[in-house]
Structure 1
Amino acid sequence: MLHSKANWKSLQIDTDAELIKDIPLEISPVVEKLLLQRDIHLASEAKKFLSPSLDDLHHPENIQGMEKATLRVKEAINKNEKILVYGDYDADGVTSTSVLIKALEELGANCSYYIPNRFTEGYGPNETAFRLAYTNGFTLIITVDNGITAVHEAEIAKQLGIDLIITDHHEAQDELPDAYAIIHPALSIDYPFNELAGVGVAFKFAQHLLGYFPEHLLELVAIGTIADLVPLRGENRILVYHGLKALTSSNTPGILALKQICQLEGSVAEEDVGFKIGPRLNAVGRLQDAGLAVELLLTEFLEEANELAEEINRLNQERQRIVESITKEAEKMVDPDSNGVLIVYNENWNEGVLGIVASKLVRRFDRPAIVMNLNPETNELKGSARSIPAFDMFKNCMKVRHLFLKFGGHAQAAGMTVAKDNIEELQAALNNFVAEQLTEEDFKQEIVISGTVEVSDINEHIIDEINRLAPYGMGNPKPIFKVKEIPADKRLIGSKRNHLKLQFQKDGNVLDGIGFGIGEVYHKISPNTPLQVIGELGINEWNGNRKPQIMIQDVKIDEWQLFDYRGKRNVDLSFLDKEKTIAVSREPLLDSNIQRIDYNIDVMNLNEADHLVLIDMPTDLNDLIAIIKQIKPVNIYACFKVHESAYLKTFPSREDFIWLYALIHKRKTVDMNREVSGIMKAKSWSKEHILFMVEVFSELEFISVEHGVLSIKPNPDKKDLETSRIYQERLRKLEVEQTLYYSNYEQFKKWFESHMDYLVKPKEEIVNGLS
């Protein structure tokens, strides 16, 4: 048995569920089920999903406040008023800023932008910035990706005589700012899609301002939308689908420089934005003023773009170094045995990266984590929290809201400021909530499986069809499939041999599996055992060859495993969990941390253990059976060696015993010292064969033995050969060796299974959904 690192949850559908074919649509059953999982039930809906069209985007004029805001901007342009675009320091914020600035400049506006500093100003509008804008002569401020909670700042703008237009997508609170106009899809009853990213809202405003659909801005929309992790459904899917195509063919200097620094060639995918472009744009605001990122996206000169991209890349590398350094420090502070919320803090930790560090702690320890920076002057802690799926960080922290100076967020992520004096009380409270709400299984990460596929059904065509569901992201996750098959080959790869490579074969189809960073499971997979792997299906292209593969995320084996190391030298079992291992050995073990027993132990004193290592063979199979039934192992490692084999020696037949006894009876005495060689030659017996029969006769008192001379006893009691202890011991040893050493693997495993009635096949957890 091999336990998975994560909890696997499978989506299921009604076996009769199918798309309603309101139009002709040719798709495979696998893709049909994936569409049903996404609540797509009509073939017409499926066609729109699989072939996103710009014609299906909604008209921006349906967003409340759009017309009023547009008229005010055009009035400002006509009067040459100074317009300030007030952005945010993350990738969504800088792309939103860039989109609107480009649109305003195209219209001839007298405009500029302002992005607050993460460390000195924080998120969103602030009074100081608005007063500075007034001093510099700005009469119109347009927020992008922020502002919907800026009630006080809107009042300040009004007092200063500045018109404020808010474009945002974040959740509104009970009181809305008294702004000149608010453009917020979720607040517009006539607008059918309310999940646009900040850049999506800015794009809609730009479209309405320009009076045409600005396809040249789609590349920026794709970056901000993917980076902000909004659901890639509806309009977001259409914008990103076409935005990625625009990124692929872009001639924009800033984009070209970014792609070059990210080493992106060919088609740009959502992963390229999410893991390469987005993090670099985010890094700027995490370490300094995010205006550098906006300048890159706005510049019209390739040389300047390359210089800016180099600087942004340097900042990203610095961000990575800082994250790595803080993570190492934080990991040393963590109690690995803690079953509560991990809370760590220190002075001089960069607040801009603490959310990333918290995420790393969650992945490393499978515990909710809070990472904060200590300000020694105020004795306050400020930082970020990340959680596991089973623990709602926002809800539980709100139970002790009085302990925070500032707090906000959602179930899996939050930001906070707390007085250092309250940290122990906060730790105790959160730990109590964890203890009350979670079981041991809840600490494991969750992976939702889209379905199970057979190796024989996996080919390039089906993978290409599945990939029509891209771009993937929030609300449209990349499908995770389960494959269950006996690996035809397994090996460790990589310079550190820490990656696992598997190969599955069935009905002529071959599927390669690659598991990066999970090489430790290599030794935990026994031969001829069905292995379950889950991961993403894809095509591996190498030297012009295309082969289906699965990028393995997790593995498990539900059935018990037998590792057959019989007769092998220097077996490495260092990977075993010592606390869950019992070894049967007469001699001391090299690893003293493993519990060692022998076959004479009182089994009632043994606790259950996952792993049973068998170094010595029993003299009686029942002794081993008793140990198995008591400790209930799920993995057995047979490391037997035989030095003097009973199985390889011929066991005397009844006729052999009769012949030898008749010889002794006839002669009355036989001097074995002189005659054993003659007997061996006459019968082709080994000396050990003859001496064994002599020992049996002597034990049964058929003969007496003195100084190697055998003498017949007159009128001995009649006894069956099988009443001899020596005879029975030899039979038992023969049975033990035949069963445990000389059997083939299938026989060997079947014998163990016949005595493992405690095994129960686990049930896979099902979640509400479709598969």
Structure 2
Amino acid sequence: MLRSQANWKFTYNELDGDTRFNQDLDLSPLTGRLLFQRGIFTKDQADKFLNPSLEDLHAPALLHDIEKASQKVRQAIDNGEKILVYGDYDADGVSSTAVMLEALRELGADCSYYIPNRFTEGYGPNEQAFREAKDNGFQLIITVDNGIAAVHEAAIAKELGLDLIITDHHEVQEQLPDALAIVHPKCSTEYPFQELAGVGVAFKFAQYLLGYLPEHLLDLVVIGTIADLVPLIDENRVLASYGLKSISQTKRPGIKALKAACNIEGSITEDDIGFLIGPRINAVGRLQDANMAVDLLLTENPEEAEDLASFVQQLNQERQKIVADIAKEAEALVEAGDTGENVIVAAKEGWNEGVLGIVASKLVRKYDRPAIVLSINTAKQQAKGSARSIEAFDLFKNCMEIRDTFTHFGGHAQAAGMTLPIENVEVLRERLNRIAGERLSPEDYKQVLTIDSTIVIDELSLDIIKEIGSLAPFGMGNPKPLFHLNSEPAEIRQIGSQKNHLKFVFQHKQKQLDGVAFGLGDLYAKIASRSALEVVGELQINEWNGKQKLQIMIKDMAVNTWQLFDYRGSRHLGKQIPAELFHESLAISFQKADAQQQRLPAEISPVLFQKGEVEQWRQEGFDSIILLDLPDKIEELEYLIHHLQPRNIFACFYESSGQYMEVIPSREDFKWFYAMVLKRKYFKMDNEIEKLAAYKGWKTEKIKFISQVFFELDFVKIEDGVLTPHSNPSKKDLTEAYTYQKKQNRLKIEKLLYYSSYNELKAWFNQHMVQSGSPKEEVSYGL
């Protein structure tokens, strides 16, 4: 058995595919089921989802305060007032800034932008920046992707005589800022959709200001919408769909140069934004002033664009190294037990504040715990950092319960940023760990994989995979579908220079499905041949040299029945079985335990089978046993298997004496030997056994065995190494001799356990296993 690493959440049933629109839209039952699970139940809903239209965007006028904000902007333009767009340093904030600037410039505004420095100013509006804006002649400030928590700064703006318009999408806190206008979906009771990204809100405001839908800005909108991980449903799906088309054909020199730096050619996907373009834009603000990123998006000069893109690329590479170094140090703190058991709170002086969110994400993935990573500044006596969470732990809600711990705090359910006094770091660690300990169960800490459907290889085709692709763009709220497959792999092998990935071939009849599991190479030794493997993954088409093949990208796997690993006769178990498995398993010898030591890693000491120890082994919870040699009595093994119920059995039966392949001498052999002894009247065991062995072509062990059987039956006597016959022995059958019986029993055990086929051996073990539960009830799913 191989336990899954995540909780598998089966969310479907057989009726899910029974939708009315399958035939109307010419969809496969599988695609119909996927739409059903996304809350799409009618033909109209399905048609809108599969064919996003700009006409489905909601009217910007429904946003609260947008008319008041628009009037102020037009008034400022008419009066020649200077307008400052106050942005943020991440990809959403940068793209929001670019969108708002383009719209204002198109309207003829005297405008500029300001993005605070992450390290010296932090996130969002700050008093000093507002005062400098006033000194520089600005009369109107428009925030994009920030400002909803700027209560103090809004008061400062009013005091300074600055007009303040806030456009934001972050969680609304207890008190709203006293601004001239707040354009925010979550402050707009009439607006139908509350999950726009910051750039989405900026786009809606730009649309209202311009009086038409500015499609030329969609190549900017898509960057923040996808990079900020907002749900790709409703309006966001429309903006992302059209935005991907727009950015694929963009004429902007900056985006074209950025695509070249990412080696992106042709159509851009959501993955290209999320894993290539977004991180590079983010890298600028993580390491220095983010102005360069805005300039890159807005420049009209191709040469400047190439220079900026090249520098952004260098910053991204530097960012990757910094992240790796800090992550290594943070992991060391976790391993040392210095960060908390339920929620990781890692803090250290000198860590770069700009990358702590990425480090927190790495810790969450590695340890399946919410993680807060803080950089300590002793000069300011404060700690500042970022947090990421697991699905079961709402960071925003839980941290707001201990809001007094922080100087500044803001974010979402799964991501947040905060500043706090140094002395509160331990307070934060203690309070959050207590809250998590009270509210989370052990299963909550495991990643959840929501499975959309169980697939059968025969039902798959390239056309169906392409049809599933029509559900893109995928992201939050519309994740890539995950599929469950139960199949015995025809082939498993490790791939990669470090053997850290797995490649599978699944086959049924004439159809083949390849499988790739990145980062799961260490599971190779934990999957027995001919095991029915259950995998969860994403279906895709792999194209190589013009040939297309079906492929499943495996996220997790499990073997939901006990497994038999066949290492019978192996002399080098230490090389074939990883040391990790030896440490997780109970190595058992039925013979003298230390006789097996030469086959095992030096630090492994096998235990000698004793019936009275089995209950203790069971209580210690050993999932796996390594059977090093054959028992003298089959009943011993039967008892062990029946009571221990191991999930994995490593059959490593081997004996150094080399008695395998020997059979019991025939009755003709016994007759010949006895006749020879009667004729000669004696047989010298020490002097003549080698000559007889050579003459008959027998092994010396065979002669010794025959002699011992005759001795036990009292047909001969042996004194001082000389065998002589009895003159008048009683009539007895060969099977009455203990040695003969022992040999017979031994051969039966060898035939059963050593010479049997894999299937025969597994069938025998199955007879002594207590079968319980069906596959979906097994604890390996964590359900």
TM-score, normalised relative to structure 2: 0.90
Matches of 2:150 and 2:688, distance apart in 1:
112
Give 2:604's match in structure 1, choosing from 594, 611, 619: 594
Matches of 2:5 and 2:734, distance apart in 1:
57
* CA distance 1:317–1:713, change in 2 (3 Å): same
Pairing 1:343–2:345 present: yes
Contact kept? 1:449, 1:479, Cα under 8 Å: yes
Pairing 1:698–2:711 present: yes
Matches of 1:441 and 1:277, distance apart in 2:
35
Between stretches 108-117 and 405-414, larger displacement belongs to 405-414
Give 2:638's match in structure 1, choosing from 593, 612, 625: 625
Matches of 1:683 and 1:329, distance apart in 2:
73
Matches of 2:376 and 2:169, distance apart in 1:
32
Q: Deviations over 1:313-344 (max 9, x none)?
A: 22222222211121122222222667433332
* Pairing 1:725-740 to 2, within 5 Å after superposition: 725-740=738-753
Paired AA for residue 348 in structure 1? G
Matches of 1:677 and 1:205, distance apart in 2:
103
The aligned residue for residue 151 of structure 1 is: 151
Deviation at 1:570, TM superposition (A): 2.4
The percentage of aligned residue pairs carrying the same residue is 52
Matches of 1:133 and 1:690, distance apart in 2:
106
The aligned residue for residue 553 of structure 1 is: 555
Deviation at 1:397, TM superposition (A): 4.1
* CA distance 1:143–1:423, change in 2 (3 Å): closer
Q: Deviations over 1:673-695 (max 9, x none)?
A: 89999999999987755653442
Contact kept? 2:21, 2:46, Cα under 8 Å: no
The aligned residue for residue 578 of structure 2 is: 574
Between stretches 427-436 and 540-549, larger displacement belongs to 427-436
Matches of 1:671 and 1:150, distance apart in 2:
107
Tell me, what secondary structure is at the counterpart of 2:385?
Answer: strand
Tell me, what secondary structure is at the counterpart of 1:334?
Answer: helix
Matches of 1:626 and 1:687, distance apart in 2:
36
Deviation at 1:253, TM superposition (A): 0.9
Contact kept? 1:503, 1:510, Cα under 8 Å: yes
The aligned residue for residue 711 of structure 1 is: 725
Tell me, what secondary structure is at the counterpart of 1:763?
Answer: helix
Contact kept? 2:517, 2:553, Cα under 8 Å: yes
Between stretches 409-418 and 377-386, larger displacement belongs to 409-418
Tell me, what secondary structure is at the counterpart of 2:606?
Answer: strand
The aligned residue for residue 389 of structure 1 is: 391
Contact kept? 1:532, 1:556, Cα under 8 Å: yes
Contact kept? 2:165, 2:182, Cα under 8 Å: yes
Matches of 1:413 and 1:270, distance apart in 2:
20
* Pairing 1:113-132 to 2, within 5 Å after superposition: 113-132=113-132
Paired AA for residue 209 in structure 2? L
Q: Deviations over 1:626-685 (max 9, x none)?
A: 33344432112222235566663343466876x569958987956588999999999998
* CA distance 1:758–1:433, change in 2 (3 Å): farther
* CA distance 1:177–1:446, change in 2 (3 Å): same
Q: Deviations over 1:172-227 (max 9, x none)?
A: 33443333333223333332222211111111121222222211100111101001
The aligned residue for residue 228 of structure 1 is: 228
Contact kept? 2:17, 2:30, Cα under 8 Å: no
Contact kept? 1:563, 1:635, Cα under 8 Å: yes
Paired AA for residue 372 in structure 2? I
| TM-align CA RMSD | 3.0
Paired AA for residue 511 in structure 1? L
Paired AA for residue 628 in structure 2? I
Deviation at 1:154, TM superposition (A): 2.9
* CA distance 1:600–1:187, change in 2 (3 Å): closer
Contact kept? 1:203, 1:221, Cα under 8 Å: yes
* CA distance 1:211–1:409, change in 2 (3 Å): closer
Contact kept? 2:95, 2:224, Cα under 8 Å: yes
* CA distance 1:406–1:70, change in 2 (3 Å): closer
* CA distance 1:412–1:179, change in 2 (3 Å): closer
Tell me, what secondary structure is at the counterpart of 1:749?
Answer: helix
Deviation at 1:437, TM superposition (A): 4.1
Between stretches 207-216 and 627-636, larger displacement belongs to 627-636
Q: Which runs of 5+ in 1 are unaligned?
A: 767-771
The count of residues paired between Structure 1 and Structure 2 equals 764
Paired AA for residue 64 in structure 2? Q
* CA distance 1:86–1:683, change in 2 (3 Å): closer
Q: Deviations over 1:430-489 (max 9, x none)?
A: 444444444444332222221111122222111100000000011000111122211111
Contact kept? 1:8, 1:764, Cα under 8 Å: no
* CA distance 1:532–1:157, change in 2 (3 Å): same
Tell me, what secondary structure is at the counterpart of 1:549?
Answer: strand
Higher relative contact order (CA 8 A, sep 6+): 1
Matches of 2:645 and 2:729, distance apart in 1:
53
Paired AA for residue 26 in structure 1? D
The aligned residue for residue 769 of structure 1 is: none
* CA distance 1:409–1:158, change in 2 (3 Å): closer
Q: Deviations over 1:237-287 (max 9, x none)?
A: 011101000111111111111111111101100000011111111112222
Deviation at 1:504, TM superposition (A): 1.1
* Pairing 1:446-525 to 2, within 5 Å after superposition: 446-525=448-527
Deviation at 1:522, TM superposition (A): 1.6
Pairing 1:763–2:776 present: yes
* CA distance 1:764–1:271, change in 2 (3 Å): farther
Tell me, what secondary structure is at the counterpart of 2:383?
Answer: strand
Tell me, what secondary structure is at the counterpart of 2:516?
Answer: strand
Deviation at 1:711, TM superposition (A): 2.0
* CA distance 1:426–1:747, change in 2 (3 Å): same
* Pairing 1:26-105 to 2, within 5 Å after superposition: 26-105=26-105
Contact kept? 2:714, 2:726, Cα under 8 Å: no
* CA distance 1:442–1:654, change in 2 (3 Å): farther
* CA distance 1:123–1:425, change in 2 (3 Å): closer
Matches of 1:751 and 1:4, distance apart in 2:
27
Q: Deviations over 1:358-412 (max 9, x none)?
A: 1112222233322111121243322222233334444444554444444444443
Tell me, what secondary structure is at the counterpart of 2:24?
Answer: coil
Contact kept? 1:632, 1:758, Cα under 8 Å: no
Tell me, what secondary structure is at the counterpart of 1:464?
Answer: helix
* Pairing 1:213-224 to 2, within 5 Å after superposition: 213-224=213-224
Deviation at 1:50, TM superposition (A): 0.7
Deviation at 1:106, TM superposition (A): 1.4
Contact kept? 2:142, 2:165, Cα under 8 Å: yes
Matches of 2:564 and 2:605, distance apart in 1:
20
Tell me, what secondary structure is at the counterpart of 2:492?
Answer: strand
Tell me, what secondary structure is at the counterpart of 1:594?
Answer: coil
* CA distance 1:398–1:130, change in 2 (3 Å): closer
* CA distance 1:664–1:132, change in 2 (3 Å): closer
Contact kept? 1:392, 1:411, Cα under 8 Å: yes
Paired AA for residue 597 in structure 1? V
The aligned residue for residue 2 of structure 1 is: 2
Pairing 1:562–2:564 present: yes
Deviation at 1:764, TM superposition (A): 5.3
Contact kept? 2:677, 2:724, Cα under 8 Å: no
